[in-house]
Amino acid sequence: MAADEPVPAGADPWLALARHTPARIALGRVGASLPSAEVLRFGLAHAQARDAVHRALDLAACAGALAAATGLPAQVVQSQAPDRATYLRRPDLGRRLAPAHAATLAMASPPPDLAVIVADGLSALAVEAHALPLLVRLRRALADLHWAPLVVAGQGRVALGDEIGERLGARLALILIGERPGLSSPDSLGAYLTYAPRPGRSDAERNCVSNIRPAGLDYPRAAHTLAWLVREALQRRVTGVALKDESALRLLDGAAAAPDAEAD
């Protein structure tokens, strides 16, 4: 049924809502059970979510592609989690750099405004699909800032960006990371921004932009929101609960340019 078609008389009223969401509503039933087709769709979605969690990110290929697209050097690091199984069991190890890799990060001079870290997180699929087109737009929107070299991190959690940002001497750390897959979104990318990054920062001290993907928050609007947050964070010297996202208000009152709608 097309989104603009009326709901037939006597049909399940939930059908009208089902057109506008990937949530599992108005699935129908056969006796006391779900239709076989819906059971199979659920099984497929569950398998896709599990595959996304266990999928390995080709770190070197990712770093090469990002460097070529942005014009920034990129290096690869690893967290203290030695493998995927350990990473999933020990979130704490994903929050700190392996000592050998920590030693490869040098403080830049002058201190960069922004350090961008790309980490596999819980969905390498999200990073493979969305990190590059988002970062290209963000690089264009923030071309006047001083960027640190890009860092691609394996077996990384959100807080890993704090240590990397501190070691690079950056005023802001932005980590793009694969989010925990859902049954309708195995490829959702998240972005976390932290002012004055250092180990021990709490989630309340970060701004999060989540569900970045074409079927969620698309690249132009995600890049616009992140660019606004970066500039405001540098000006106000805060992130997290002290910095509310008002980027949409700027669009409404004409104080900011509309997001770039061009495709890469």
Annotated binding-site members: 158, 179, 208
Give the residue carrying structure tokens 């990190």.
131
Distance CA 117, CA 173 (A): 7
Please, where are the H alpha helices in the chain?
A: 14-18, 36-54, 59-70, 84-89, 99-102, 124-141, 160-168, 219-236, 247-252
Distance CA 114, CA 229 (A): 12
Distance CA 209, CA 240 (A): 11
Distance CA 187, CA 181 (A): 7
User: Exposed, middle or buried: residue 38 (CB in 10 Å: 0-12, 13-18, 19+)?
Assistant: middle
Closest by alpha carbon to 1, among 26, 19, 21?
Answer: 19
Cβ within 8 Å of residue 168, ≥6 positions away: 105, 106, 107, 108, 112, 115, 148, 149, 151
Residues at the annotated binding site for adenosylcob(III)alamin? 158, 179, 208
